[in-house]
Structure 1
């Protein structure tokens, strides 16, 4: 069996990770991008290349807006800008898929934070 070491993985939280987000409307011409007020969301799952969030807010993702996310997986705060890929209506709100631009440093930070989180959860179970 061929093992793909470089293939990304997805970590699903047993309890969602709390995060905040701000919508960014792309700049037109020489104007600055517009940012919304902060909203709260829960991260349902995450990989080095993207994540799935749940929030009560309806977001018109077809308007090509980006999202600034702020969260902590284990200890290091992570601030990322991503792009909405899909949305699904749920009973209490909405789920959104968000992709991150390729960034080796951020990808490695997410992997390391997930490893630390997993190690801590394994030590608690012992």
Structure 2
């Protein structure tokens, strides 16, 4: 795994964030061709450029490298298309690293949602 020195930050959830995913065949074409039904996963950590998920499903990432992830951090639903970069077998499932394409709007949106989540968690402690 390559270390990204320019990565602004990575937020690790105390409780994983629930999400759904589906594998897609062509993320760069005019139409996205679905090749799987939706599956359930948990987001372990996230940054503006990628995320780490956990699921019970084994995915052949060398064959199917694009994935659509749907989740909500604070209030707004987020739909992202990313690319698998690595996988690790765990006792009761698999962890996957997903790289997100560079998109300034999406990066800023993720940062703002994470700030809201953090503020709310700090307010609950008071």
Could you say whether these structures have the same fold, taking a TM-score greater than 0.5 normalized by the shorter chain as the test?
yes
Q: CA deviation at 1:63?
A: 1.0
After superposition, the CA RMSD in angstroms is: 2.0
Q: Which residue of 1 aligns with 2:79?
A: 79
Q: Which residue of 2 aligns with 1:124?
A: 124
Cα distance, 1:74–1:31 mapped onto 2, change above 3 Å: closer
**Aligned counterparts of 2:109 and 2:32: Cα–Cα separation in 1:** 29
Alignment: residue pair count: 120
Instruction: Choose 1 or 2 for highest CA Rg.
Output: 1
Asked whether the 8 Å contact 2:22–2:34 carries over to 1, the reply is: no
Secondary structure at the residue paired with 2:9?
coil
Could you list the structure 1 runs, at least 4 aligned residues long, displaced by more than 3 angstroms after superposition. Answer: 29-32
TM-score of the aligned structures, taking structure 1 as reference length: 0.89
TM-score of the aligned structures, taking structure 2 as reference length: 0.89
**Aligned counterparts of 1:8 and 1:49: Cα–Cα separation in 2:** 9
Asked whether the 8 Å contact 1:26–1:65 carries over to 2, the reply is: no
Unpaired stretches in structure 2, ≥5 consecutive residues: 1-5
